[in-house]
Amino acid sequence: MIRSKLEVLGAALVLTSTAASAQDVADGPSRWAGAEIAVGVLEHGSNFHPLGDQLIFDLPKLPAGQIYEGQEEYGTADVQLAFRGAPLTILLKPRFVAKLQISTAGRTSFASLGVEWRQHILHGRVYGQAGIGLTVHDGYRFTPDPYAPGLAAGEAQRRYDIYLNRTSFGSQVLFNPNASIGVRFNPRWAIEATWEHFSHRQIFSEQNPGIDSLGLRLVRTLGQ
C-alpha cells in the first residue's frame, strides 16, 4: 500500500516536472518580458557603421597637430545607463527606451529616447534587438574656428584644443539607430553586445560626421 502511494507520488512529480518544462518552452520569451534596467561600457568612436557606405579601419597616420574630421573624440570610453519598458502588444511589441551615454573623458555625452524591437531564439535564451531614437547631446554643433583673424593667443589656443578634441556634429538633435545581441543567464540577468550610432543624415546641416560606439551592457529584468 505504501509502495503504491510512493509510486503514485513519484509519477505525479514526474508529470509536474514535465509540465513545467513544457510550459517553460511554450512561454519562451514571455517569462522575461518585464521592464529592464541596464548599465554598459562602450568605446566612444568605433570604425563600425553597418548602415554606411564603407568601413575604414586603418587610416594613414597624420602629422602631429592634425586629425581626421569626425574622429576627434575617438579612443575614449563611455558609461551607458538605460531603462526599457515592458513590450507593448502592438506593432511587433516595441519597447520604449531611455538611454544616457556619459563620456568618461569630458567629451560629448548623449541622452536618447526611442523604441526597440526584440526577436528571441532558443526559448528566449538568445535575442537580437534593433531600435531607433532621437538624441540630444552636450557637445558642439560647430566647434569655434581657431584660425579666425584677430584672436588673442590664449583664445586661439583654447579653440585649437577644442578643434583637436571635440567633434562638430552639425546639429544638437541626432538620430540614434542601434542594435544589440543578448544572451540571458536566467530570468533576471542578461548581457548584450551593442552598437550605437549618432548622426542626422545631413538633414539639419551639411556638417554630419556622425559617431559610432561598440560595447557591452549588463541587463536586469524587473518585476516578478
Question: Per-residue pLDDT tens for 151-208?
Answer: 999 999 999 999 999 999 999 999 999 999 999 999 899 999 999 999 999 999 999 9
**Same domain, yes or no, for 18 and 86?**
no
**Same domain, yes or no, for 13 and 50?**
no
**Same domain, yes or no, for 211 and 158?**
yes
**Same domain, yes or no, for 46 and 84?**
yes
State how far the alpha carbon of 36 is from the alpha carbons of 31, 96, 120, 181, 224, in Å.
Answer: 13, 11, 16, 15, 12
**Same domain, yes or no, for 38 and 18?**
no
Number of domains comprising the chain: 2
Residue 73 phi/psi, 5° resolution?
A: -105, 5
**Same domain, yes or no, for 3 and 88?**
no
Nearest to 133 by CA among 169, 181, 84: 84
**Same domain, yes or no, for 15 and 98?**
no
**E strand intervals along the chain:** 36-44, 76-84, 95-103, 110-121, 126-137, 173-175, 178-184, 189-198, 211-221
**Same domain, yes or no, for 6 and 67?**
no
Give the Cα separation of 63 and 115 in Å (integer).
42
Nearest to 176 by CA among 127, 206, 216, 211: 211
**Same domain, yes or no, for 8 and 60?**
no
CATH of the domain at 56: 2.40.160.20
- Owner of C-alpha cell 548623449: 110
pTM of the predicted model as reported, rounded to 2 decimal places: 0.82
Chain-centroid distance of CA 147 in Å reads 36
Question: Per-residue pLDDT tens for 112-154?
Answer: 999 999 999 998 899 999 999 999 999 999 999 999 999 999 9
**Same domain, yes or no, for 94 and 193?**
yes
**Same domain, yes or no, for 127 and 195?**
yes
Domain around 8: 1-29
